[in-house]
Amino acid sequence: MFSNLDKPLIMGILNVTPDSFSDGGRYNQLEAAVQRAEMMLSEGADIIDIGGESTRPGSDPVPAIEQLQRVIPVIETIRRQLNQDIVISIDTTSSQVAEAALNAGANLINDVSAGVNDPQILKLAAAREAPIVLMHSQGTPKTMQDSPHYDDVAGEVISWLRTRIQIALEVGVKKKNIIIDPGIGFGKRKQDNLDLLAQLNDFVALGFPVMLGTSRKRFMGAICTVSEPSELVTATAVTTALGVMAGVKLFRVHDIKENRQAIEVAWAIKNSRLSDGLAGSGN
């Protein structure tokens, strides 16, 4: 599904939770969630990522049964009512939730723990031949921002991801179904996040599709002196454009239209091959 990506894709964030950092409570009712998914599709989303557990800094884990109550009706309704070809992702670290989501119509597993929290999720991905995102995180959402530390953040994150990739391959996940994510904001300081963004090409060089999730994150607010996540749409689009130039293939975002524009322009620049006739035209 993602092994031979050409143009980058947008994964739209649909948090059906009461406490997500940016949009908690806005889409935790079925009708609102489905309407939001429909809007994201109309604005250019390629994937809808549905999560029933907030992973914001300081958040507590949510039992699988509660996640299921939140996400399964949404997945079933989106699959039934909206475009049947849409790719639906389940954002969870629980194999129980992931399996039920796949049964309900999801196509992709997005695991912010890369199988650390529940190793069975890797076996599930292998058995179902489902693409899976392996994301780096230092610590758990509850404690990850307490005192993160790296001596060489890009090198350490890459080494960690190599280990998780190898474990996934050993249990039967096919290489073509592995996507990696450096985990911006997950157990990282502001400078760590900046260093990772500056070295995205090193992650691309690993040979797996790279997903980037910077959407509305607080490290950009610290740079822009903005406190409201919803005011970081432009900042997010800047990182999206940089990601396209580095070779990133998937972008997980809240704001579809703005990031779609960033991708379109950056992609055109990246692939620009001016002919002799246009080179001096001023266009």
Residue 152 CB neighbour total at 10 angstroms: 10
Query: Which one from 164, 216, 252, 260 is the annotated catalytic residue?
Result: 252
- For 51-86, letters b (16+ CB in 10 Å) and e give bbbbbbbebebbebeebbebbbebbbbbbeeeeeeb
Helix locations, 119-171, DSSP H: 120-128, 153-170
Concerning whether 252 is annotated as a catalytic residue, the answer is yes
Alpha-carbon dihedral of residues 132, 6, 234, 133, nearest 10 degrees? 10
Q: How far is CA 250 from CA 51, 145, 154, 176, in A?
A: 17, 25, 19, 15
Cα distance between residue 73 and residue 220, in whole Å: 34
Give the phi and the psi of residue 69 in degrees, each rounded to 5.
Answer: -65, -30
Cα distance between residue 271 and residue 251, in whole Å: 18
Helix locations, 87-232, DSSP H: 95-104, 120-128, 153-170, 190-198, 200-204, 218-224
Query: Which one from 217, 218, 249, 260 is the annotated catalytic residue?
Result: 217
Pairing of strands 47-51, 132-135: unpaired
Residues forming the active site = 217, 252
